[in-house]
Amino acid sequence: MLGGDGEAVIHYPDPRLRERSTEVEEVTDEMRKRIETLWPVMYEQGGIGLAAPQVGWMVRLFLMNLAGESDEGEEVCFVNPVVQSKRGIEVDEEGCLSLPNVHGAVARPKKIVVTGKTLDGDEIEVEAEGLAARCILHELDHLDGKLIIDHFSEQDQRKNAGAIENLERAFADRPRVESEAEAEGEPAPQ
């Protein structure tokens, strides 16, 4: 779960996965460095896309490499992505690094045009279809606090109920850092 520099993918139902991330005003060197540490996190977990909020970094950017391998495909980082147009509709199975063992059908536009910025701060406009469009829209959902389970049919919700319950249990039982109040010997709030 840990990648370079200790970045870790957070799992459902972590409330940060439900927040809307904030616009990036300027891509700084510090941000570029942090992004570099996220590629190995994505590859180690077999992902083809990773949105910043999935490591608890609440900014509007995501990484994508449809090959899912560091030495193959094309690495794309999208900053402040905005969908300008959508066409058609296609249903396909999706999974998510923040929802291990959860899979289901998600209907998404087939073709999209997306604008945004590169890591160099250049404005870009990209036309994507098929898996690329699906991946971009999946990551964009993360920037708005939306998850694949929100798109699932009732049947797929039921099919994944056990896996979702396991994640909820794991989150409730997660190891926690002692709160400052506890560290100072004050009673913890009830």
- Among 10, 96, 106, 112, the residue binding Zn ion under the rule CB under 5 A is 96
Residue in the shown chain whose Cβ atom is closest to Zn ion? 96
Per-residue contact track with Zn ion, 97 to 136, x per CB under 5 A? ----------------------------------------
The active-site residue out of 75, 139, 178, 186 is 139
Q: To the nearest whole angstrom, how small is the minimum distance from the Cβ of residue 46 to Zn ion?
A: 12
Q: Say how far apart CA 5 and CA 115 lie, in whole Å.
A: 30
**Cβ closest to Zn ion, residue 1 vs residue 181:** 1
Q: To the nearest whole angstrom, how small is the minimum distance from the Cβ of residue 103 to Zn ion?
A: 12
**Cβ closest to Zn ion, residue 125 vs residue 157:** 157
Is 139 annotated as catalytic? yes
**Cβ closest to Zn ion, residue 144 vs residue 186:** 144
Number of residues in contact with Zn ion under rule CB under 5 A:
1
Q: Which residues bind Zn ion (CB under 5 A)?
A: 96
Q: So which residues are the catalytic ones?
A: 139
